[in-house]
Amino acid sequence: MKQAARQARAEGRVIGLVPTMGALHAGHLSLVEAARRESSPVVVSIFVNPKQFGPQEDFAKYPRPLEEDREQLEGLGVDILFAPSVEEMYPPGFRTTISVEGLGDRLEGRARPGHFRGVATVVLRLLDIVAPQFAYFGRKDAQQVRVIRQMAADLALDAEIVVCPILREADGLALSSRNAYLSPGERRAATVLYRALDGARQAIVAGECDAARLVQIMRGVLAGEPLAAPEYAEIVDADSFQPVTRVRGACLALLAARIGPTRLIDNMLIETPALAPVPADRVTVRCSL
Ligand code: AMP
């Protein structure tokens, strides 16, 4: 992979990297499409990274349909599939960990201790090997993107981090490899994350900008679904990931819930002018689900 990347760079080509854990779905493929628009060669990595899974998590049972993934990528005209083994990525004696302080302690970081250290470590490793000018990530994992952007800025990495929108099923459920774990009943219940975010969106559009009230609306929708066990529902500043009291500037509504045994996350980006006058009906609010 390093050799191919060096050669592409020497030829003046623009390498685009889409890092994934495989079990590819249309969300991943939308990142590939974005990469194809501005990069050639497009490299897709598939690596189920043990370092980002907790001891009680689904590392062992995470789906690994490598042959199907390969066929899909071939169909999309992806130039290189990089699917290293755990031993190649972390040779025996590997001791280095990348830790981005402060941004990954709450929310996903609290629910999954060590998760973002695992993510940052593998992403830096992938960026070093593939040497892309552009690396594509989904806003589906909003906190992950924030951590990676911070790492890229702090270390002055060459790669530009590109964030792509969330791809959803027709009923609003965000595409995820873990949706494959859901039973038919759980699959129906899983739309509750989208419904909760959409409830907040409707309130925001109607002028609500009090974060506590919006959180209450989201919690209310989640509580109405018997198969859902909510983990967190918050509205945070998109830069600091700290909770806000009022929606202002760029914020994120973030949700995590278990649907049966399956843990799902989702979010909505809320953008208002930073110094907007209240009442909100005079300002343009953009909610991106
Ligand atoms: P994963 O294989 O789950 O590690 O995801 C690989 C990349 O795909 C990450 O950047 C995710 O944010 C992105 N991704 C996952 N689901 C979606 C989705 N529904 N829409 C857009 N991007 C997604």
pLDDT tens over the chain, length 289 residues: 999 999 999 999 999 999 999 999 999 999 999 999 999 999 999 999 999 999 999 999 999 999 999 999 999 999 999 999 999 999 999 999 999 999 989 999 999 999 999 999 999 999 999 999 999 999 999 999 999 999 999 999 999 999 999 999 999 999 999 999 999 999 999 999 999 999 999 999 999 999 999 999 999 999 999 999 999 999 999 999 999 999 999 999 999 999 999 999 999 999 987 665 555 556 688 999 9
Atom 6, ligand 1: residue with shortest CA distance: 20
Given a contact cutoff of 8 angstroms between Cβ atoms, the answer to whether 276 and 250 are in contact is no
Query: Measuring CA to CA, which residue among 28, 75, 280, 6 is closest to residue 177?
Result: 28
- Collapsed DSSP state (helix, strand, coil) of residue 178: helix
Rg (Cα) of the chain, in Å, rounded?
A: 19
User: How many Å lie between the centroid of ligand 1 and the Cα of residue 174?
Assistant: 9
The residues carrying an active-site annotation are: 28
CA 168 to ligand 1: nearest atom: 19
Atom 10, ligand 1: residue with shortest CA distance: 137
User: How many Å lie between the centroid of ligand 1 and the Cα of residue 141?
Assistant: 7
Structure tokens, 39: 């990069």
Given a contact cutoff of 8 angstroms between Cβ atoms, the answer to whether 272 and 285 are in contact is yes
User: How many Å lie between the centroid of ligand 1 and the Cα of residue 164?
Assistant: 9
